[in-house]
Amino acid sequence: MTREEISNVNRRVMEKVREALPFQEEIKPYREAVAQGAMHLFEEKYGDTVRVVCFGDWTCELCGGTHVKNSADVGTALILSESSIGSGLRRIDMVVGTAADELVRRDRDLLTELARSFNVSPDQLPSRIEAVRGQLKEAERERERLRRDRIGGDGLSVKHGRVDYVTETVDASNVDELKSYADRFLERMKSGIVTVTAGDKFVIKVSKDLTGQYDANRLKDLFGKGGGPAHLVTGTLTVPAHEAFQRLADILK
């Protein structure tokens, strides 16, 4: 059900609650009750005789009983959730009476507190929240731009040995970001080996022209455990990054 459909059902229920429809109860044969149109669930098991509960001429169903003598006794009624219980059938869970009144009060207090936090009136909350979401998305885009600028900055330190190589510890929150650093560094070097670490993760990237001499899978043993194709390995450090970098420097002298 859509939010609008749920709202319409709740409104319809409250209309019938306010009409103070009288409660009626009858015990009658199951077949007779069904023939007269009493609502029942096909998967339920009923005896030969059943209790039929009606409120005015609005609703009649096979029911174990009720605690009210007319619909107005329910008081406030609020839908909490709805779900499917079969083809074309929906189960609706509601809260009524003082519990519903308390829920309304709690939600109103929460709405007031949220509005106060955003320094707007309650009816302005949706647009204010949408504006904040837009600001957060823009801030995330700016953060990504700055990260890319940092990756492509001019401060890259390329070391020279048998081949050119890079050993850098960078600010990255995941392996994908580490790969981005490695990609950018190797793009600038054209040919060489790039090793980058962040936390306990590492990435080794080897330019295609060097994979015959320096397979990234063999180089990973200098850093820890991991795997990947000959030109790109990701993994987890088992030694401190500075020690792994020194091991690489030693074999590339």
Percent of the chain with pLDDT over 70: 95
Tell me the two tokens of residue 210.
């060097």
- Tell which residue, 107, 79, 102, has the closest CA to residue 6: 79
For the full predicted model, state whether its pTM sits above 0.85. no
pLDDT in tens, 124-149: 999 999 999 999 999 988 877 766 66
| CATH topology for the 3-103 domain | Threonyl-tRNA Synthetase; Chain A, domain 2 (3.30.980)
> 32-86: per-residue pLDDT in tens?
888 888 888 766 788 889 999 999 989 898 988 788 889 999 999 999 999 988 7
70 φ, ψ (degrees, to nearest 5): -155, 165
pLDDT of residue 230: 93
pLDDT digits (tens, 9 = 90+) for 170-228: 888 899 999 999 998 998 888 999 999 999 999 999 999 999 999 999 999 999 999 99
Contact indicator for 77, 10 with CB cutoff of 8 Å:
yes
pLDDT for 154: 47
Domain boundaries, the chain: 3-103, 120-144, 154-251
What CA–CA distance (Å, rounded) separates 108 from 98? Answer: 15
> Which CATH architecture group holds 154-251?
Roll (3.10)
